[in-house]
């Protein structure tokens, strides 16, 4: 083995690491160690490539000499993580007049000419960035060299070392380009990520016998099922050739001639290589190979491309076959990728009104209101609205807007454009390259090829599985989440050490969450039960009641409805804890704000419009989120909480069965003082005693506090005296800690994150330093007074991996998140356990 500081030959014993030479170089070394037929390859380290980018190119003659006479080489990129990308492969370096003559003698003139033209074209266009149009169409080497000379104003270089130097320099510089940098940073690469390069002797793929190139993988990329999938093109080179119409299937196939028929021995060797890699590299690989007169050469192997669904199936299969552990299977799945398995699909049977089509860039479908900016997506998301982010193309500034949207639609771009890459990472449906649509970003309109015009706020559906964009809300099919997915989640359940509950207000939410299994309901926002049209009228009557008895009458009619709601939830949850939050929002949210609505309400209540308008006016507040809401309403209009408590206790009796008594949890929102809790507690206790006496039944319940104000966190000690549990409502707590409106922050959040004021939107990722400190103080003071107090997070952060980690380290009992976040939360909770096991120092 000859090693020089500038390059390292990839041998079984060479000093080769992913962190210094990149994943491709390391993988090739593994293939060499397995005894697979890999052509001679040398690797350039990150440092060497960095120097080349800065213009310090080493003497390449010794490297070239390694490959011997008449060699052609390829150069491939080798970044630290495969998904950080890298410049494309360049083949046939070393091709010149002399070698062309030699190859013509061995393989025939036409093969030699083809290789030569291919290289001149690649060298001109990809390396020197000359105009591609000049090298289009059929060319002879002589004409190609003439075009080259015209464009480059120099002769086509004949010295292989010069060719190699220029290739290396161009690839090293491409890595430093802004687009490449943005794309890899979107994949989590650090700003200073390095690029390695591998230089490999070409196995030509042209010549006598069965010669050609191909790729193969042993799993179906959509399902992950075992299969032999790939293509082989005779007398061809590189991946590009695989798009050729003459490509053969790999395995004997009714659809046509196959590699298995043409070269059974090579086929056998390929299958054996795939099995060996699976076992020893512990991964399903995609193999790039060349046959030279029937002889197999393995040029490269990468992780086999796969959908999120196939990724889950693959790790579960590998673990079931004992190739990897269950822990490793769990660790290999990025939590956010689960979104792709969970997303809904448009019902293919239902009628569809297609307004345009594009590239199906990320699977799943979603409906929402059109927005033309990330700011608008964030602003509407803060109000709980579903949006579709529509842009010409996206950039890194849009990532937070994409987080806030339900789907992304871009006029430009393709499968690997920024929008596509990010959307897949986030599990968002995405359609790119919808070029028949005209966007007018100023007027905020989207015009179809048929001249239909859509405006911001119009509802559309993006089908990222088919590429269709549909008018309105399309009929959807719920995702299937059984099989390998269910197995993986079950393994996560076995490992995780923090509870995962769901934020669920409706039976539908509970049904969704129960597909994944949950430890309970962590937050039932009861006000959502009052927006039903029938109930809304009763709510309004209650708000407009002038006397206590009028109010009591309205509440009496709401009581059975609430009792029904809670009974249903308790029954569905089958004894698992259900935490019901007492009424939280300001009352005026239930009242109409426009003239038509006020007139309709006046009619319904049989009151003059002026009286209704005046009453609405009197309920208006300057800062409603800091005003008469939550426990403040509970104390000033106590009948509402009385009614809810009664409904909860009566439902408790109705849903309890012999040995399985329901133990409801009642949570008081927006507390800031101990006395608030005492006042509510004494009334709730009184209602409980009354319900028990009236029904001749006993039951227990737990009363707790939602810690959403900084003061509640600071005074958690005394608050815990009357509270069985403290659940941190991190949405409001973030709002109040920062003094930052959760409904308005979207307007400037991008600017703030971009300029590094906030590392991330604190409403998405828990601010572990500030809000986190309040959580820790609250937990410590609460526990000091009541050691057994149950602690949890129930804001949106409950479904965020980093916040789950924080909660786990802080010793919280559970996190509660929205239904579709439950699998992600479980997986990430399990991953933190595994990470702590392997990296104890981190804890």
Total binding residues for Mg ion by CB under 5 A? 3
CB of 731 to Mg ion, least distance (A): 5
Q: Which does 676 bind (CB under 5 to 8 A by kind): Mg ion, ligand PEP, none?
A: none
Among 169, 525, 572, 681, binds ligand PEP (CB under 6 A): 525
- Of 107, 794, 797, 817, which is the active-site residue? 794
Among 51, 331, 731, 741, binds ligand PEP (CB under 6 A): 731
- Of 21, 147, 403, 418, which is the active-site residue? 418
Among 729, 762, 798, 819, binds Mg ion (CB under 5 A): 729
Nearest one of 724, 637, 649 to 690, comparing CA atoms? 649
Nearest one of 321, 302, 318 to 310, comparing CA atoms? 318
CB of 623 to ligand PEP, least distance (A): 15
Longest dimension (CA), the chain: 106
Q: Which does 525 bind (CB under 5 to 8 A by kind): ligand PEP, Mg ion, none?
A: ligand PEP
* 235 lies in the binding site for ligand PEP (CB under 6 A): no
* 796 lies in the binding site for Mg ion (CB under 5 A): no
Stretch touching ligand PEP by CB under 6 A, among 23-31, 220-228, 728-736, 822-830: 728-736
Q: What is the number of alpha carbons within 13 Å of residue 383 lying toward its C-beta?
A: 11
Among 85, 499, 778, 795, binds ligand PEP (CB under 6 A): 795
Q: How far is CA 174 from CA 56, 128, 195, 410, 709, in A?
A: 16, 11, 10, 25, 50
Of residues 573-602, which lie at the interface with ligand PEP (CB under 6 A)? Answer: 584
Give CA–CA dist 772/611, Å, rounded.
Answer: 47
Stretch touching ligand PEP by CB under 6 A, among 359-367, 650-658, 696-704, 725-733: 725-733
Stretch touching ligand PEP by CB under 6 A, among 109-117, 271-279, 727-735, 804-812: 727-735
Report the run of H or E that residue 273 belongs to, with start and end. Answer: helix 264-280
Of residues 471-500, which lie at the interface with Mg ion (CB under 5 A)? Answer: none
797 included as an active-site residue: no
Tell me the three state secondary structure of residue 384.
Answer: coil
* 697 lies in the binding site for ligand PEP (CB under 6 A): no
Among 161, 338, 523, 736, binds ligand PEP (CB under 6 A): 523
CB of 729 to Mg ion, least distance (A): 4
Taking the least distance from each CB to ligand PEP, the nearer of 429 and 586 is 586
> Angle, nearest 10°, between helix axes 548-573 and 507-516?
20
* Residue number of the CB atom closest to Mg ion: 732
Give CA–CA dist 613/276, Å, rounded.
Answer: 77
* 732 lies in the binding site for ligand PEP (CB under 6 A): yes
Q: Any idea how long the chain is?
A: 843
Residue 123 DSSP class: I
Alpha helices in 177-248 (DSSP H): 178-186
Total binding residues for ligand PEP by CB under 6 A? 10
Taking the least distance from each CB to Mg ion, the nearer of 654 and 794 is 794
Taking the least distance from each CB to Mg ion, the nearer of 329 and 794 is 794
Give CA–CA dist 651/668, Å, rounded.
Answer: 19
Which tokens hold the place of 812?
A: 């919280």
Give CA–CA dist 130/136, Å, rounded.
Answer: 12
> Angle, nearest 10°, between helix axes 418-426 and 178-186?
10
Taking the least distance from each CB to ligand PEP, the nearer of 540 and 742 is 742
Tell me the three state secondary structure of residue 197.
Answer: strand
* 732 lies in the binding site for Mg ion (CB under 5 A): yes
Among 207, 274, 729, 782, binds ligand PEP (CB under 6 A): 729
Residue 347: is it exposed, middle or buried by C-beta count within 10 angstroms (0-12/13-18/19+)? Answer: middle
CB burial string 720-753: b at 16+ within 10 A, e below:
bebbbbbbbbbbbbbbbbbebebeebbeebbeeb
Dihedral pair phi/psi, residue 500, rounded to 5°: -125, 110
* 800 lies in the binding site for ligand PEP (CB under 6 A): no
How does strand 814-817 pair with strand 499-503? parallel
Tell me the three state secondary structure of residue 495.
Answer: helix
Taking the least distance from each CB to Mg ion, the nearer of 425 and 729 is 729
257 included as an active-site residue: no
* 730 lies in the binding site for ligand PEP (CB under 6 A): yes
Of residues 692-711, which lie at the interface with Mg ion (CB under 5 A)? Answer: 708
Footprint on this chain of ligand PEP (rule: CB under 6 A): 523, 525, 584, 708, 729-732, 794-795
Site residues for Mg ion per CB under 5 A? 708, 729, 732
Instruction: State the catalytic residues.
Output: 418, 794
């Amino acid at each position: 083995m000859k090693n020089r500081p500038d390059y390292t030959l990839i041998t079984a014993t060479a000093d080769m690491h992913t962190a210094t030479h990149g994943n491709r170089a390391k993988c090739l070394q593994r293939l060499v160690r397995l005894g697979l037929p890999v052509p001679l390859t040398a690797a350039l380290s990150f440092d060497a490539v960095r120097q080349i980018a800065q213009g310090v190119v080493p003497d390449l003659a010794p490297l070239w000499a390694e490959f011997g006479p008449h060699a052609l080489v390829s150069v491939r990129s080798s970044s630290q993580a495969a998904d950080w990308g890298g410049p494309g492969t360049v083949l046939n370096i070393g091709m010149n007049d002399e070698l062309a003559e030699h190859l013509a003698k061995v393989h025939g003139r036409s093969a030699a000419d083809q290789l030569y033209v291919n290289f001149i074209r690649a060298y001109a266009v990809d390396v020197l960035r000359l105009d591609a149009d000049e090298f289009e169409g059929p060319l002879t080497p002589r004409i190609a060299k003439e075009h080259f000379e015209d464009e480059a104003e120099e002769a086509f270089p004949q010295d292989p070392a010069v060719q190699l130097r220029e290739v290396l320099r161009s690839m090293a510089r491409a890595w430093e380009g802004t687009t490449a940098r943005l794309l890899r940073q979107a994949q989590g690469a650090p700003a200073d990520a390095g690029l390695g390069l591998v230089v490999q002797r070409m196995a030509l793929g042209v010549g006598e016998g069965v010669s050609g190139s191909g790729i193969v993988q042993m799993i179906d990329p959509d399902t992950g099922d075992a299969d032999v999938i790939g293509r082989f093109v005779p007398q061809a080179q590189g991946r590009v050739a695989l798009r050729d119409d003459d490509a053969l299937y790999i395995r004997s196939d009714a659809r046509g001639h196959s590699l298995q028929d043409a070269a059974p021995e090579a086929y056998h060797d390929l299958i054996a290589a795939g099995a060996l890699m699976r076992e020893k590299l512990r991964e399903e690989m995609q193999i790039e190979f060349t046959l030279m007169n029937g002889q197999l050469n393995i040029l490269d192997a990468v992780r086999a491309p796969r959908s999120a669904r196939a990724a889950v199936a693959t790790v579960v299969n590998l673990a079931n076959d004992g190739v990897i552990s269950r822990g490793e299977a769990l660790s290999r799945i990025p939590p956010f990728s689960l979104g792709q398995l969970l997303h809904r699909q448009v019902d293919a049977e239902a009628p569809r009104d297609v307004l345009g089509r594009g590239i199906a860039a990320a699977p799943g479908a979603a409906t929402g209101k059109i927005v033309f900016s990330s700011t608008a997506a964030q602003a509407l998301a803060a109000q709980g609205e579903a949006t579709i982010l529509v842009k010409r193309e996206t950039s890194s500034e849009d990532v937070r807007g994409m987080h806030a949207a339900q789907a992304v639609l871009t006029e430009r771009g393709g499968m690997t454009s920024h929008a596509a890459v990010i959307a897949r990472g986030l599990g968002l449906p995405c359609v790119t390259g919808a070029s028949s649509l005209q966007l007018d970003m100023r007027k905020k309109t989207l015009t179809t090829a048929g001249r239909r015009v859509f405006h911001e706020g119009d509802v559309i559906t993006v089908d990222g599985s088919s590429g269709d964009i549909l008018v309105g809300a399309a009929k959807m099919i719920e995702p299937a989440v059984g099989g390998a997915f269910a197995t993986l989640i079950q393994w996560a359940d076995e490992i995780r050490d923090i509870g995962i509950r769901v934020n669920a207000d409706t039976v539908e939410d509970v049904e969704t969450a129960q597909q994944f299994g949950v430890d309970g309901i962590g937050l039932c926002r009861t006000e959502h039960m009052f927006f039903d049209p029938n109930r809304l009228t009763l709510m309004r009557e209650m708000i407009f009641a002038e006397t206590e008895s009028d109010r009591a009458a309205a509440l009496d009619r709401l009581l059975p409805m609430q009792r029904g709601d809670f009974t249903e939830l308790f029954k569905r949850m089958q004894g698992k804890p259900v935490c019901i939050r007492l009424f939280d929002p300001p009352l005026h949210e239930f009242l109409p704000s426009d003239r038509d609505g006020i007139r309709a309400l006046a009619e319904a209540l049989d009151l003059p419009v002026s009286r209704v308008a005046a009453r609405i006016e009197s309920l208006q507040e300057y800062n409603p989120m800091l005003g008469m809401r939550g426990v403040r309403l509970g104390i000033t209009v106590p009948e509402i909480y009385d009614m809810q408590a009664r409904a909860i206790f009566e439902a408790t009796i109705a849903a309890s069965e012999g040995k399985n008594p329901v133990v409801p949890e009642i949570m008081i929102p927006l507390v800031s003082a101990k006395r608030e809790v005492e006042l509510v507690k004494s009334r709730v206790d009184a209602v409980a005693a009354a319900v028990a006496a009236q029904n001749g039944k006993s039951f227990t319940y737990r009363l707790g506090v939602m810690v959403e104000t900084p003061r509640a966190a600071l005074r958690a000690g005394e608050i815990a005296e009357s509270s069985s549990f403290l659940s941190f409502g991190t949405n409001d707590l973030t709002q109040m800690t920062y003094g930052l409106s959760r409904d308005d922050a979207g307007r400037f959040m991008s600017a703030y994150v971009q300029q590094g004021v906030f590392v991330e939107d604190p409403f998405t990722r828990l601010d572990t330093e500030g809000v986190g400190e309040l959580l820790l103080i609250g937990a410590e003071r609460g526990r000091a007074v009541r050691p057994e107090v149950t602690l949890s997070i129930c804001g949106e952060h409950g479904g965020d991996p980093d916040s789950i980690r924080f909660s786990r380290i802080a010793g919280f009992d559970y996190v509660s998140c929205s239904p579709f976040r439950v699998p992600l939360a479980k997986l990430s909770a399990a991953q933190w356990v595994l990470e702590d096991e392997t990296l104890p120092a981190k804890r």
